[in-house]
Structure 1
Amino acid sequence: MNTIALACRKAFDHGKGMTGAAFGRASDSTLEKHAEYWGRWPNRTKEDAYRALHFLRTFFAQCSKKPDALFKDGTTLGRRIGFVKQYADRSAAHLSLEHYEFDNLDLAHVVAALTLVGSIVYSFDNGHPPEYFNQIDQAAHDAAVALFPDAPRVRMFEDMQIDMQARLCWQWGEERGIQMLTEQLPYAVSWF
């Protein structure tokens, strides 16, 4: 739980430097330069790369805020990120004895969203298999079952092709794609 919380805080950091918030403020010209690089690979176009990058910029601009702003944001994922970031800032860093109430679904939603974001980025790298994240999910599940044989046999992405779902997020258009990540993703992975 601490590791996931710290990773969430880092991915959705609202500070300066190499943060989610900084990427959320990236200029169109910066996105165009990256899209040109991503568009060099076979079966990838600069236009598709720009759409994917624009989607990611919108997503990080929306989700990389201070916890109070995320609570006011109104999205399910935003509130979950806010709770997990608060936990990471205080409890995971051993700065507080306060109780922070969130559960496995909150963490699963954050992990699933980051997985789809990672898959979007990964899909524009050359020479990598599209089933890469599903293979990681299967290996993680197998390792968890080996360590905890009595635990429920629930795999997060058992019924989803991660690369296809990630691609649909940016291909559907930003409004539908963001809605998928922020609201519908727990239902899509059957963790509701």
Structure 2
Amino acid sequence: LAHCAHEGAAVLVHPWDMPSGPRHARYMLAWLAGMAGETHLTILSLILSGAFERLPASLRLLFAHGGGSFPYLLGRADNAWHRRDLVRADSPHPPSHYTDRFSVDSAVFDPGALRLLVDVMGAERVLLGSDHPFPLGEEEIGRLVRDSALTDREKAAVLGGNAVRFFGLTRLPEGAPAC
């Protein structure tokens, strides 16, 4: 990751090594619960290991699926950091301190979840995501964001402004859909 920061490369983190076995084999549970859990685990591992203290602040990390369970369980992680030496052993700050060190996509498929995601991460840290063309991908990319209760400024940021900034573009590429 330090090399990626040095090279100016953006890094998309998408779960794949999901739990398997009889409990996860049915009902697409590896996709429905496993991916969210793996993403949460990855973010917390970076935070609690102190990796963000060692990695350059210029590192551009983008986590798929709205950061998995992370935004929704951040209060639990902060509570543990404040109450247990083991949790804070390698991290000088609670997990909520690090939300400005990475971005997430908007592929959460629920207006309430999107609102919470923006409230936790900040509108400037949420990029349009769809999970298309995978089986659970958003069929009409950007619909959730466009139809949400986000402000016009937040919608504009999520639908393209944040991607321009995150990827160091001067504008959206030619042919990019005007979401």
Q: Give the structure-1-normalised TM-score.
A: 0.29
Structure with more of its chain in strand, by fraction = 2
Q: TM-score, normalized by length of structure 2?
A: 0.31
Larger helix proportion of the pair: 1
Q: Flag the structure with more relative contact order, 1 or 2, with Cα contacts below 8 A and sequence separation at least 6.
A: 1
